[in-house]
Amino acid sequence: MGKRQLVLEDGTVFIGDGFGSTQEAIGEVVFNTGMTGYQEVITDPSYCGQIVMMTYPLTGNYGINRDDMETVTPFIHGFIVKEVAEYPSNFRSEETLDDYLKANHIPGIAGIDTRKLTKTIRLQGTMKGAIADITIPSEEIVRKLHKTDLAKNQVQKTSTLKPYVVPGRGKRIVVVDCGMKHGILRELTKRNCHITVVPYNYSAEDILRLKADGLLVTNGPGDPKDVPETMNMLQQVVGKLPVFGICLGHQLLALACGAETEKMTFGHRGSNHPVKDLLTNKTYITSQNHSYAVQRASLAKTNLELTQIALNDGTVEGIKHKLFPAFSVQYHPESSPGPEDTNHLFDSFLKLTEQVMKGEEVYA
């Protein structure tokens, strides 16, 4: 495709080779440290509004396959890599990364100094950026970036519009879709659940009318404070249904129970983030993708207990309610991509629904 440029809002310019779609992209530039899993990253709806750079220098080597999609329509705004493989080699590969990005209107840029970009983001925090044609003066793009506010309605874009059912004979679980990865459905169907997926703004009343055994609130893009609908619903449902929150769902549970959330400098994105479970003293390697975190000090004024912390920086990775069956984690227990160390959390959630059903006096 020829040369293209990546321009950051602070004026930094990287010249590279365009691939994927030729359109212009604007988004928050973030980095992911996973060495594999680019297909799951591209198709994770939590990246809506973001331009993602992979720190691992080779991407596209095993192509794109039909099995590792995390959503039907990807929402990522752009993709940055050091080197993109033109000829993937893997028995599951159906097409190249370039073809997939072209077909889904996602621009990519390769051949830039990804280590420099990582260091810039680590020092200054995430910034807005654009992947654009080389012919446009970079000052013009910087001006445009300063004028552009990143959208606040990302969950509205990534959530399902209508409820639907994935039938099963086991526990009845309502999944509130804030931008759900298919991995969450995979874990629940593996455990024979009867799943009702509902939009992010489904009311507490309508959820309770479904007479489910448990409620799962999924991952999703953007700032949790931009999703008051789901937060208000949780305030009414906690204590009436066992609740499991994943990533954005975790942040929303925290807000619903009176805790605070804050934006991190550059977030956690990768497949090898160590997390310590304070209740069992075990350490898990987890898959993560988040910009926001629950403010640790704010838990003191709530009925929430800190259950897990990130070992790299001490941030909150898990909480549980002290009075009601509700718990959540900041990372992705469904992995995809990444280690499956914390897959058992889906079993813990279903066990909790069982205990509540039997009327046992148990909390998460």
Ligand X SMILES: NC(=O)CC[C@H](N)C(=O)O
Site for ligand X (CB under 6 A): which residue of 55, 289, 335, 342? 289
Does 336 interact with ligand X (rule: CB under 6 A)?
Answer: no
Cβ closer to ligand X: 246 or 356?
246
CB 280 within 8 Å of CB 250:
no
User: Footprint of ligand X on residues 39-58 (CB under 6 A)?
Assistant: 46
Does 248 interact with ligand X (rule: CB under 6 A)?
Answer: yes
In DSSP notation, 194-260 reads: EEEEEETT--HHHHHHT--SEEEE---SS-GGG-HHHHHHHHHHBTTB-EEEETHHHHHHHHHTT--
Site for ligand X (CB under 6 A): which residue of 117, 247, 252, 329? 247
Least distance CB 215 / ligand X (angstroms): 16
Least distance CB 30 / ligand X (angstroms): 9
Cβ closer to ligand X: 132 or 155?
155
Least distance CB 239 / ligand X (angstroms): 24
Cβ closer to ligand X: 196 or 219?
219
Question: Dihedral of CA 218/26/51/139: which sign?
Answer: negative
User: Footprint of ligand X on residues 194-223 (CB under 6 A)?
Assistant: 219-222
Cβ closer to ligand X: 41 or 142?
41
Site for ligand X (CB under 6 A): which residue of 38, 266, 292, 349? 292
Look up residue 246 and give its amino acid.
Answer: I
Q: Say whether 46 counts as a known binding-site residue.
A: yes
Q: Is 247 a catalytic residue?
A: yes
From CA 184, how far away is CA 158, in angstroms rounded?
15
CA distance between the termini of the chain: 53
Q: Is 257 a catalytic residue?
A: no
Q: Say whether 62 counts as a known binding-site residue.
A: no
From CA 131, how far away is CA 88, in angstroms rounded?
24
CB 278 within 8 Å of CB 317:
no
Least distance CB 355 / ligand X (angstroms): 27
| Residue of 70, 229, 317, 334 marked active site | 334
From CA 183, how far away is CA 163, in angstroms rounded?
18
Cis check for the bond before 337: say yes or no (omega within 30 of 0): yes
Q: Say whether 272 counts as a known binding-site residue.
A: no
Question: Dihedral of CA 21/27/31/35: which sign?
Answer: negative
Tokens of 241: 């249904």
Q: Say whether 248 counts as a known binding-site residue.
A: yes
Cβ closer to ligand X: 180 or 350?
180
Cβ closer to ligand X: 88 or 221?
221
From CA 215, how far away is CA 237, in angstroms rounded?
9
Q: Is 229 a catalytic residue?
A: no
The SS3 assignment for 74 reads coil
Does 290 interact with ligand X (rule: CB under 6 A)?
Answer: yes
- How many residues are given for the chain? 364
Tokens of 19: 């691939």
From CA 125, how far away is CA 118, in angstroms rounded?
10
Least distance CB 44 / ligand X (angstroms): 7
| Residue of 182, 247, 273, 290 marked active site | 247
Q: How many residues bind ligand X (CB under 6 A)?
A: 11
CB 202 within 8 Å of CB 164:
no
Indicate which residues carry an active-site annotation: 247, 332, 334
Chain contacts with ligand X (rule: CB under 6 A): 46, 219-222, 247-248, 289-292
Q: Which residues are annotated as a binding site?
A: 46, 220, 222, 248, 251, 289, 292
Q: Which residues are annotated as a binding site for L-glutamine?
A: 46, 220, 222, 248, 251, 289, 292
